[in-house]
Structures are given as structure tokens and as C-alpha cells.
């Protein structure tokens, strides 16, 4: 299994850490699986999802906001996407879309919390 996250960006620098990456590293360590947080990156800046009032606005906000990095070796593997909060699933869906061309066997999503 490989973990995929959005990598470093403006939010990382403002917070000082990437909470989804921290969760993924801890989960991978406990499950004794590899963690590769740099397979996926945010390809454009997006407003915070919490500022998008409707599910449609959330989907629009993150549409095509991620890209898998060249050389990502996930073909035939189970990929575990890790996120801190899942509300509508828009972010996880867009992240999964970005890695599908690399032919993973399965894409799973793990979240810490579910929003309303």
C-alpha cells in the first residue's frame, strides 16, 4: 500500500505541518506499510473547503486541483488516500481522479473525522 497526499504548499507553510501527512505517517507506521506523501500534489491553490457553503461549491472548488507526480509507481498497488476531514468527499474524489491514470489496483480513503 502507498499513501498519497497533496504535498507541501501555502497551507503547510502557514501551519508549519500538513495534518493529513502527519496522520498518514502515523497510520502507515502502525500498519507497517510504506508512506509516500509526495506522489500527489496540489496543482493549483484553492480556497479552504470549509469556506464553500454547498456540496456543489466544494466540488467546484477542488475540481482538477491535484496531479500525480511523474514516476509515481502505483500500478497494480492498493493506494490509501488519507485526509483529516471528509465532508462531501470532493477532495478525496479529485485526488483519486488524479492517480487513476497510474493504474492502481484499488484506491481506498481513510479519514480521521466526518464533517456535516
Beta strands in the chain (DSSP E): 2-4, 40-42, 66-68, 78-86, 106-114
Residue with cell 504548499: 9
Query: How far is Cα 4 from Cα 21, in angstroms, rounded to an integer?
Result: 9
Query: What does pTM read for this prediction?
Result: 0.76
Convert the pLDDT of each residue in 30-52 to its tens digit: 999 999 888 898 888 877 776 66
pLDDT number for residue 7: 46
More confident residue, 7 or 52: 52
Q: How many residues does the chain have?
A: 116
Helix axes 90-99, 55-62, angle to 10 degrees: 30
Residue with cell 488519507: 82
Domain count of the fold of the chain: 1
Residue 57 has pLDDT above 90, yes or no: no
Confidence of residue 85 (pLDDT cuts 50, 70, 90): confident
State the residue range of the domain holding 89: 2-114
Domain containing residue 37: CATH number: 3.40.50
Residue 94 has pLDDT above 50, yes or no: yes
Contact (CB, 8 A) for 3 and 35: yes
Confidence of residue 10 (pLDDT cuts 50, 70, 90): low
Confidence of residue 87 (pLDDT cuts 50, 70, 90): confident
Amino acid at each position: 500500500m502507498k499513501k498519497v497526499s497533496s504535498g507541501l504548499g501555502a497551507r503547510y507553510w502557514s501551519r508549519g505541518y500538513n495534518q493529513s501527512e502527519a496522520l498518514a505517517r502515523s497510520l502507515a507506521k502502525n500498519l507497517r506499510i510504506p508512506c509516500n506523501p509526495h506522489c500527489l500534489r496540489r496543482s493549483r491553490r484553492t480556497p479552504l473547503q470549509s469556506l464553500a457553503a454547498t456540496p456543489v461549491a466544494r466540488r467546484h472548488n477542488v475540481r482538477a486541483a491535484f496531479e500525480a507526480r511523474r514516476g509515481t509507481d502505483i500500478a497494480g498497488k492498493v493506494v490509501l488516500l488519507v485526509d483529516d476531514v471528509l465532508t462531501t468527499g470532493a477532495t478525496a474524489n479529485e485526488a483519486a481522479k488524479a492517480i487513476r491514470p497510474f493504474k492502481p489496483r484499488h484506491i481506498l480513503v481513510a479519514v480521521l473525522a466526518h464533517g456535516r
